Amino acid sequence: MTESIGVIGGTGPAGSSLAARYANLGHRVVLGSRDAERAAGVVAELRERLGEGLAGLEGAQNAAAAECDIVVVATPWDGVEATARPLADALAGKVVVSMANALYREGRNMGALTLPRGSVAEHLRAAVPLARVVAAFHHVPAKELGMVNEPLHSDVLVCSDDAGAAERVVALVGEIPGARGVLAGNLSAAAAIEAMTAVLINVNIRYKTRTSLQLSGIRES
C-alpha cells in the first residue's frame, strides 16, 4: 500500500509544491494548516491549476496531517517548534521530515542564521523527541518541485540519526522522476545543508535562475 503523507504547515510555496508532487505520484496527501479553510482553499487552487492528478490531495488542520504515515513539517523555520510540539504524541514513532531553512536577507544577499541547537531540524527533534526526524528537501526549488509532470533533475541531501528513517526518505525522494536521495550523514549535518541553501539562493539571484544540486561521482548500488 502506498504510504500517506502529511504536510504540516503546507500552505506555503515549498509545502504546497511537495504536497502536489506526491499527490500526483499517487499518494494520499493531507495538506495541513492551522486553518482548515485555508488549507482547503490552497488545495482547490492546486487542483484548478494542475488538474485531475491531484485527486488524492486534501486540505485539513495540521492535526489531520500528523496522522499520516510520513509527515513533513513545512512551516517557516521560526514556527517549527511551536507548531510541532502540540502534535508530539501523534508524531511519536513516525518519520518526520524537516525541510525549513533558517535564513535572513540583507539587501540582495541571503545568509544563514546560527541557531542554538545548530539547525531547524535539531530544534524540531527537541520538540518531538519520540519522532524519527529526518532533514531533507531544503534546497529543492519550490517552483520546479511543483511542476508535477516534469522531472526534477535534482539530488536531495538527506540526513538523520535514524538510518532506517533516512532510507525511507531516500526511497520517497526516488519516486520523483529525475530526483535522487543522497545520504548525507547524521542530523547534525542539517546545519550545513540549511546554510548551503542560502548559497544556492545567492547564486540564483546573481544569475537570475533557479539552480538544482547534483553530485557527481556517486556509484549507484
User: How large a percentage of the chain has pLDDT more than 90?
Assistant: 95
83-102 residue pLDDT tens: 999 999 999 999 999 999 99
Would you place residue 219 in the very low, low, confident or very high pLDDT band (cuts 50, 70, 90)? confident
216 found inside a domain: no
Residue 142 has pLDDT above 70, yes or no: yes
* Interval 13-29 mean pLDDT: 97
Q: What is the largest CA-CA distance in the chain?
A: 48
* Interval 131-135 mean pLDDT: 98
pTM of the full structure:
0.96
* Interval 182-196 mean pLDDT: 97
pLDDT at 112: 96
Closest C-alpha to 97, from 125, 67, 130, 58? 125
103 found inside a domain: yes
Q: Which letter does DSSP use for residue 162 in this model?
A: -
213 found inside a domain: no
58 found inside a domain: yes
pLDDT at 93: 98
* Interval 179-187 mean pLDDT: 98
186 found inside a domain: yes
Residue 1 has pLDDT above 80, yes or no: no
pLDDT at 212: 86
pLDDT at 29: 98
Average pLDDT, the chain: 96
* Interval 17-30 mean pLDDT: 98
* Interval 145-168 mean pLDDT: 97
Q: How many domains in the chain?
A: 1
Owning domain of residue 193:
5-207
**Radius of gyration for the alpha carbons in the chain, expressed in angstroms and rounded:** 16
Question: CATH no. for residue 122?
Answer: 3.40.50.720
Residue 62 has pLDDT above 90, yes or no: yes
Q: Return the H-helix or E-strand segment holding 103.
A: strand 103-106
Residue 13 and residue 74 in contact, taking contact as beta carbons nearer than 8 Å? no
Would you place residue 220 in the very low, low, confident or very high pLDDT band (cuts 50, 70, 90)? confident
pLDDT at 210: 85
Residue 125 and residue 94 in contact, taking contact as beta carbons nearer than 8 Å? no
User: How large a percentage of the chain has pLDDT more than 70?
Assistant: 99
212 found inside a domain: no
Instruction: Take residue 197 and report the three cell numbers written for it.
Output: 541553501
Q: How far apart are CA 211 and CA 117, in angstroms?
A: 28
